[in-house]
Structure formats: C-alpha cells, structure tokens
Amino acid sequence: MEIDGKQVKAQIWDTAGQERFRAVTSAYYRGAVGALIVYDITRPITFLSVSRWLDELKTHCDTTVAMMLVGNKCDLENIRSVSVEEGKNMAEEQGLFFMETSALDATNVNTAFEIVIKEIYNNVSRKVLNSDTYKAQLSLNRVSLPNNGTPSSNHNQTHFPCCST
C-alpha cells in the first residue's frame, strides 16, 4: 500500500488465537509493531479472551504497538452475542482502534488493515524523527550561510564538517 507517496509493505502473521498456537505466538510478538485482536461477535467466549491476548501483547512486545480490536462476522447480525457497544467500550478503555468486519463478504477487512498499517507507519516515522541518530544526522547535514545568505568578503569563514574546503 502507499502512504505519503511511499510504498509500504507489511508482513502479517495469523496466529488464529487458538490455544495450540499459544507457545508459538510469543515468538511472533517480538518485534511486532501492529496487531489486530479479533473476536467473533457470535461467540462471547472469544470476546472474553481479548483481555488475555492484550496482556500477552503488552508483555512480549518490544515497542509501541498499533492495535485494533476487531469484531468479526458482522454479517451474522441475527445471531450476534457481543454488541457493538461492548466492543467499542473495550477498545476505548484499552486505547485501541475498533471496527467490525465480515471475513465472509469482506466488509471493512481492507480498511482495518489499512488503518493499522498507517498507524504503524506513523509510529515508526515518529521514532525515526525522535531518534538520536536522526537528530545527529540533521545537525551534521545542516547548512549555515553567513550574513543571511549573502556572499561574504571575509575569506576566513568557519568551515563546517559537512562542507569541503
């Protein structure tokens, strides 16, 4: 996908949220910069598991993680067990984005990924801009012009590390 005129690629891992994958998932958390925590709106037990998955993310992730709570199967409104309001409230309490999707008919699926990927991009960009390495590069590459940019008749000007003599 393209963000700010740059091509951004995302590597996505689906851990399926199943207990049999639980031992493997902690390895995926290291270095993760985004997560979609998905529950089934027709199965309240999956919604109750969200807190545990959030705790695991917070325990194992190294960095700020862009997270979205996703209620899946919104196409099954007639057998819904978890209300939209419950999902929104949990997301708000945890500081997460929130969206309902349908994997069956693709409702909001791309949008959910796009929102998280854009947030990851913004988080990574902020980290780069705030890093000491970036700040050091800025100070080394800064150009200073004496006399407000007008040529000087003084040939004994100070030379900066970025400029050759």
CATH number at residue 103: 3.40.50.300
Residue 137 covered by a domain = yes
Residue 162 covered by a domain = no
Kindly report the average pLDDT of the chain as a whole number: 81
What pLDDT, on a 0 to 100 scale, did the predictor assign at position 117? 95
The rounded percent of the chain whose pLDDT value lies above 90 is 48
Instruction: Supply the range of the domain harboring residue 109.
Output: 11-142
**Confidence class for position 73, pLDDT limits 50, 70, 90:** very high
Cα–Cα distances in angstroms (integers) from residue 29 to residues 34, 56, 57, 97, in the given order: 9, 8, 7, 19
Per-residue pLDDT, averaged over 91-99, amounts to 96
Distance CA 165, CA 157 (A): 11
For 2-6, 24-28, 39-43, 152-156, which range has the lowest pLDDT when averaged over its residues? 152-156
pTM score of the predicted model? 0.74
Per-residue pLDDT, averaged over 75-94, amounts to 98
Residue 27 covered by a domain = yes
Residue 70 covered by a domain = yes
What pLDDT, on a 0 to 100 scale, did the predictor assign at position 58? 86
Number of structural domains (the chain) is 1
Residue 161 covered by a domain = no
Contact (Cβ atoms closer than 8 angstroms) between residue 120 and residue 33: yes
